Structure 1
Amino acid sequence: MLKGFIAGLAVANAFEWFAHKYILHGVHRSGQPRYSPVPRSMESHWAHHREVRKQEFADECYVQGFEHWRTRNEVMSLAVVAGVASVAFYPFSKGMSLAALYSAGNYYYVHRRAHLEPDWAKASIPWHYDHHMNSNQDANWCVTRPWFDYVMGTRVVSSADLKEANPLGIPLPATFSKLLTQAIESVFPAKWVEQKPKLLASAVVEEAEKQSVA
């Protein structure tokens, strides 16, 4: 059962990445609005993004609880996904079925707490803080753990203080955490936001202008 539970956590994290990217954010379409197979969830999620950017990572919908339509939408969506997944997994893996239920509950707990306690989020799940507050909001798709962002090459770090201690996103002894990070990032490296010094950027612009005049 333990192996099934661990496998279920990995599957849940992969689904978290997929659903966030393709359902909640939607797919870019040239000259058209983004497409999502669940438009209501995409509408809710982009409203969440706008609120978080204005309120320094906080979102009042979690204060209002079920009185707010976005909270109800999130909980109902998680309940549907967890219910379907747990039933589908149960015949061949009770561990995976349990993991589906746990992952849905954990997702809501982590996401809700993050937007009620921004300082906690910044320290505990910096990848999600980066997702909202980074210049590129189409990256860092995982919420609970950054596993599949590393696997898929979408972990984009904006600053050193928002870099998790290790790609598992789990508190570990410093020495082991460092070795684990080196091992994983040798295969699945995190990306960093390119930040050019202003003086260097100005020099590049001036040089380009000189060349264009010449």
Structure 2
Amino acid sequence: MIKGFIVGLAVANAFEWVAHKYILHGTHRPGQPRYSPVPRSMKSHWEHHREVRKQHFADDGYVQGFSNWRTRNEVGSLAVVAVAATVVFYPVSKGMVAAAWYSAFNYYSIHRRAHLEPDWAKRKIPWHYDHQMNANQDANWCVTKPWFDYVMGTRVVSSDQLQEDNPLGIALPAAVAQALTQWVNQHFPAKYVEQKSKVIETEMHPERKIQTLAGE
């Protein structure tokens, strides 16, 4: 069961990456709005982006709780995913089922706290802070842990202050963290933001970037 649970955590992190990129953000279509197989979730997510950009990463939707439609949509979507994962994984591994439900609860807990306590988010999940406050919001797709952003080459670091101690995003002994970071940097290196004038201008006027992305 333990092996299944560990595999399930990896699968859940991969799903975070895929769902965030293709469902919540949607895919670009030349001359048309972005496409998502779940348009309501994409609409909710872009409203979330607008909110956090205006409020320095805070989102009042989490203060309002279930009276806010975006919060209801997020929780409902996570429940649907967990149920679907249960149906798929149960014949294979009960550990993977447990990981699916744990990951759903963990995702909501971490995401909610991050947008209620932005300073905590900058310290604990800087990759997600980068995702929403960086000029490039089509990167850093993982929320709970940055694993598949490293695997897929989409971890984009905006500053040294928003660089996690190690690519696993968990507390490790200094020597282990250093060795792991060196190995990952050789095989799955993170990218870094180039501070060009266009980027700086976008950071000064984030609403322009958001409007452009949402309309693509």
TM-score (norm: length of structure 1) = 0.91
Corresponding residue number in structure 2 for 1:89: 89
Gaps of 5+ in 2: 198-216
Task: Tell me which of the two structures has the higher relative contact order, counting C-alpha pairs closer than 8 angstroms and 6 or more residues apart.
Answer: 2
The CA RMSD measured in Å over matched residues stands at 0.9
What is residue 39 of structure 1 aligned with on the other side?
39
Count of paired positions? 197
> Match for 2:70: what amino acid?
R
The letter of the residue matching 2:145 is R
Q: Secondary structure at the match of 2:70?
A: helix
Structure 1 Cα separation of the partners of residues 188 and 159 of structure 2: 18
TM-score (norm 2): 0.90
* 1:72 equivalenced with 2:50 (yes/no): no
Supply the distance in 2 between the matched residues of 1:90 and 1:134 (Cα, whole angstroms). 39
Q: 1:193 and 1:116 mapped to 2: Cα distance?
A: 26
Structure 1 runs of 4+ with >3 Å offset: none
Report the equivalent of 1:176: 176
* Structure 2 residue identity aligned to 1:137: Q
Q: For residue 186 of structure 1, give the secondary structure of its aligned residue in structure 2.
A: helix
**CA-CA distance at 1:92 after TM superposition:** 1.2
Per-residue CA deviation, residues 68-119 of structure 1 (Å, 9 max, x unaligned), is 0000000000000001102210111000011000000000000000000000
Partner residue, 1:189: 189
Matched residue, 2:104: 104
**In the alignment, residue 65 of structure 2 is paired with which amino acid?**
G
Match for residue 122 of structure 1? 122
Indicate the residue corresponding to 1:143 in structure 2: 143
How high is the sequence identity, in percent, across the aligned residues?
77
C-alpha separation between the residues in 1 aligned to 2:34 and 2:195?
28
CA distance in 2, matches of 1:109, 1:133: 20
Larger radius of gyration: 1
Separation of aligned partners in 2, 1:46 and 1:88: 30
Structure 2 SS opposite 1:33: strand
- In the TM superposition, residue 195 of structure 1 has moved relative to its aligned partner by 2.3
Cα gap change, 1:183 to 1:92, in 2 (>3 Å): same
